[in-house]
Structure 1
Amino acid sequence: MPLLGLVPISVMLRLFFFSKDFGDKMVYPLIALFLGTGNQTANVPAAIVERLFNDPNMKLWDYDQDTLLPNQPTMYSFDCLHDFYEKWKDDLVAKGVSVRTNTQVHSVLSRSNKGVDLAIKNNNPSDELANEHFDHLVLCVLADDALRILAHTATRREKLVLGGATFYDDLTVTHSDSAYFKRQYETQFKPDLCAEPKSEQQCHQIASAKGESISSTSRQFNPMYYTYTYQHDPRLIEMSFNCSNYQHQFHKSPASPTVPFEPVYQTIFLDKRKSDLWTIDDIDKDKIIKRNWWHQLGHRWQHYLRVVPGIMFLQGRNNTFFAGSWTLVNMHEVACISGIAAAYRLGADYTKFDDFAQDFFVKYLLLSHGKLFSREEKKRKAKAT
């Protein structure tokens, strides 16, 4: 792992004589879809792929020597999340936390071991800037946004580390064009694309896809994830999701989900520099619900030589901390852990939920903050007594 872990996936596949089709049709779409690495997937370190199959803290799938991925997705999204976050906010406010929305940091005036001075602006043209002093600053934003906010106060070290994170501009189109979706993707089970089963589990999966012998917990062929490959360059893809298949309320009966309206889809067009390849013009404009431009991290092997090992040397300096999935790997779990680690460094207690969560936290704290959890706990206890 230490020797080969940073080798890009594309190089690793060639070194071990995997076929080009295996990389183009299985590996690249798989990693691009689940890690959001987009069209930079071929440059992602091979260690990331290994961790996603073997590391209990990062593992997303089981491994099957015949099908690669034997398990069907079981995740769903939940409704009323706005109400959930509102109640969470209200609870924090009741405990004395000041939650400000519609507000931005206009500029960082100064940072030192005495604290941080910020120019704050409400998103109202008539409001003037207000200078405020804070004990600490935690930047839970992308690395390039952090550099933009820090501006002239950014140190050479911060510019070196944060500047090593590379981002690409992608476009997400939310729409209800089922005709486009059926043209682009395999939305129905196709027997001619299915190989002969080699295990009882595969027989059950095929039967479920056909709608045969379905148990109370099985589902028909209702995919959530899709990828579309450009024929002239199979490493470049588009990604789509059937958002309606994510909704738990439509799956009270897994064997016969009922969607009471035209399904809602999201199609992600990667890297605007490649926009001449996009199939976005094939989507019925009258069925487009929303367009969202966003910034996506490219997990190039250089990221793990410059950004990941360097972030620990930035944490806490000038009373500034950094958090976000870009500090390690683009996973929701890492985003959450990075915020917990910053809170811990600021004095919050870490409550152990289970061994799995604590092990993940301890490893992240060491890698991204350079702190040993056990040693830090001893210091806290000594300070408390």
Structure 2
Amino acid sequence: MPEGKRKNVVIIGAGAAGMSCAATLAKHPDKFKVTIVERMAVTGGQATSISLDKEKYGTDWMNDGVQGGSQIFKHTFNFFKKYGHEPQEVKLQVAFGKGPDGFWTNCFPSPLVDRFSKDIKKFGRVLSLIKWTMPVMGLIPIRIMLRMFFFNKEFGEKMVFPLIALFLGTGNQTANVSCAILERLFDDPNMKLWDYDSETLLPNLPTMVTFPNLHNFYEDFRKDLESKGVDIRLQTDVTEVVQRNSKGVILRTRPFDPDANNRMGQHTGFDTKTETFDELIMCVLADDALKILGKTATYKEKFVLGGASFYDDITITHSDTAYFQKHYETHFNDSLCASPKSKEQEQQIAFSKGEQRGPEDEPTGFRPMYYTKSYASDPKKIEMSFDCTNYQHQFRMDHDAETAPVKYENHVFQSIFLDKRNRDDLWTIDEIDKDKIIESKWWHQLGHRWQHYVRVVPGMFPFPSA
């Protein structure tokens, strides 16, 4: 390319990665002409929002793909603040399992945590061992590590697997996840969600963050990039990479209808365009990238991208309280609580009963936001859910939560059913009252198996040039 000429760069995918990539390149308009091609009708990828009936649910919107996260997402927060969208803090409450023998929480002492107190302490020592023996121990699947160190089988099934599956999005592949991701969850300063607690595994009421209206944020983000010269083309599908060499990249694109059930045959060949760019940046899922690259994929690209496995999950957003209470522990119950061993645990119980305020004047009471349910026939597999009314800040801020809280029967929940290919016979999805379903969405999720850390992670680092 002649020196001084702008590079014509195409980015495939307008999710968080594609948009932030474009934002970086747009800072250098003299060097780059940037085009984003996105299949869907909006930017943001899985960071989507839906509308709600405010009179019934207490707010007129909710984020339905990404709820929030930890305080480590500093780059994300910088983008939020740049466009005037502020994340809000919330104290994390979980409710894993059901009944005195299967339930545990980070809100008050439970018999299950007492029962596995030795395993919890040993777990901390093993985390340190994993850290100091990377990458060898880091590549071992969690299920094998638990057996190697003689952890109680139920400790893994009732505490470790649900915790990792829910917070790291590893779903029903959690048992096959590399120990590296386990160690980073608790110890890596750039990735951890909370500190390991030697008494309860998960600390009492750690600070989490809920995101602002993601649809509005990405709309502001899109408009700003377009004002800087970025060409963002929505509802456009890249069907094939025809050529990639020193002369440039040739793509075939066509219009795409995200609401159509069947992609094949919905457009004629006359809709397809052939376009040429200087550089290609792919910000899509690994399996989609392989399909798009087709015959132009290199051996290394096939090896690396082919090491990522994806699973189809469905999220049901609903208001079926009867279903939720059948499968989860949604309210404080004395039978779920162990005898306190300290003044601190006495205060935790009082807070959960609603008898005193929490840290930083947190609204009182046991109000879990994260839930998991393990299948009796296969405890390594789970269903997971959110009480979005307890989690997302706008349900509390868009009305007077103190004097007129949203009635529990009007809470908005999400129930997530994992890995359709192998586990839909165990799902309880048909028990949800269809009249109380607000939205149903399918997601294509990365499984984070140990193979991911053998093939994908090393392959993403550039090799030294010869």
Fold shared by both chains (TM-score > 0.5) = yes
Q: 1:302 to 1:84 in 2, by over 3 A?
A: closer
Matched, 1:33 2:144: no
In 1: Cα distance, 2:415 partner to 2:192 partner: 25
What is the match of residue 300 of structure 1? 449
Name the aligned partner's letter for residue 393 of structure 2: H
Q: 2:395 is matched with which residue: 244, 247, 250?
A: 250
Matched, 1:259 2:406: yes
CA deviations 1:134-154 (Å, max 9, x no partner) are 121111111111011111211
Point out 4+ residue stretches in structure 1 off by more than 6 angstroms: 253-257
Question: Share of identical aligned residues, percent?
Answer: 59
What is the match of residue 311 of structure 1? 460
Q: 1:202 is matched with which residue: 312, 331, 345?
A: 345
For 1:65-80, list aligned pairs within 5 A: 65-80=198-213
Is the Cα–Cα contact under 8 Å of residues 194 and 206 in structure 2 kept in the other structure?
no
Q: CA deviation at 1:114?
A: 2.5
In 1: Cα distance, 2:143 partner to 2:403 partner: 40
Unmatched runs of 5 consecutive residues or more in structure 1 = 313-368, 373-385
CA deviations 1:331-382 (Å, max 9, x no partner) are xxxxxxxxxxxxxxxxxxxxxxxxxxxxxxxxxxxxxx4589xxxxxxxxxx
Matched, 1:268 2:416: yes
Q: 1:133 is matched with which residue: 255, 264, 276?
A: 276
What is the match of residue 147 of structure 1? 290
Matched, 1:290 2:439: yes
Matched, 1:191 2:340: no
In 2: Cα distance, 1:114 partner to 1:8 partner: 44
Is the Cα–Cα contact under 8 Å of residues 220 and 256 in structure 1 kept in the other structure?
no
What is the match of residue 325 of structure 2? 182
Q: 2:426 is matched with which residue: 256, 261, 277?
A: 277
Number of equivalenced pairs: 316
For 1:1-385, list aligned pairs within 5 A: 1-2=133-134, 3-123=136-256, 125=267, 128-215=271-358, 216-252=361-397, 258-259=405-406, 262-272=410-420, 273-312=422-461, 369=462
Q: CA deviation at 1:307?
A: 1.4
Is the Cα–Cα contact under 8 Å of residues 208 and 218 in structure 1 kept in the other structure?
no
TM-score calculated relative to the size of structure 2: 0.64
Q: CA deviation at 1:254?
A: 7.8
Unmatched runs of 5 consecutive residues or more in structure 2 = 1-132, 258-266
Q: CA deviation at 1:255?
A: 7.0
In 1: Cα distance, 2:162 partner to 2:236 partner: 38
Name the aligned partner's letter for residue 265 of structure 1: F
In 2: Cα distance, 1:223 partner to 1:371 partner: 48
CA deviations 1:265-300 (Å, max 9, x no partner) are 111111112111001111111112222122121111
In 1: Cα distance, 2:214 partner to 2:301 partner: 36
In 1: Cα distance, 2:233 partner to 2:311 partner: 29
In 2: Cα distance, 1:250 partner to 1:208 partner: 21
Q: CA deviation at 1:257?
A: 7.8
In 2: Cα distance, 1:59 partner to 1:311 partner: 21
CA deviations 1:44-92 (Å, max 9, x no partner) are 1122111111111111112222211123254353454323222221211
Is the Cα–Cα contact under 8 Å of residues 250 and 257 in structure 1 kept in the other structure?
no
Structure ranking higher on relative contact order (CA contacts 8 Å, 6+ apart): 2
Q: In structure 1, the residue corresponding to 2:190 is in which secondary structure?
A: coil
Is the Cα–Cα contact under 8 Å of residues 164 and 170 in structure 2 kept in the other structure?
yes
TM-score calculated relative to the size of structure 1: 0.77
In 2: Cα distance, 1:175 partner to 1:218 partner: 24
In 1: Cα distance, 2:365 partner to 2:401 partner: 7
CA RMSD of aligned residues (A): 2.2
Q: CA deviation at 1:226?
A: 0.4
In 1: Cα distance, 2:141 partner to 2:348 partner: 33
Q: In structure 1, the residue corresponding to 2:244 is in which secondary structure?
A: strand
Q: CA deviation at 1:106?
A: 2.0
Q: CA deviation at 1:236?
A: 0.8
Q: 1:199 to 1:188 in 2, by over 3 A?
A: same
Q: 1:185 to 1:116 in 2, by over 3 A?
A: same
Q: 1:206 to 1:232 in 2, by over 3 A?
A: same
Q: CA deviation at 1:108?
A: 1.0
Q: CA deviation at 1:218?
A: 4.4
Query: Could you tell which deviates more after superposition, 133-142 or 24-33?
Result: 133-142
Q: 1:59 to 1:186 in 2, by over 3 A?
A: same
In 2: Cα distance, 1:93 partner to 1:283 partner: 42
Q: In structure 2, the residue corresponding to 1:276 is in which secondary structure?
A: coil
In 2: Cα distance, 1:107 partner to 1:53 partner: 41
In 2: Cα distance, 1:267 partner to 1:81 partner: 20
Q: CA deviation at 1:93?
A: 1.2
Query: Could you tell which deviates more after superposition, 127-136 or 111-120?
Result: 127-136
Q: 1:115 to 1:88 in 2, by over 3 A?
A: same
In 1: Cα distance, 2:302 partner to 2:463 partner: 19
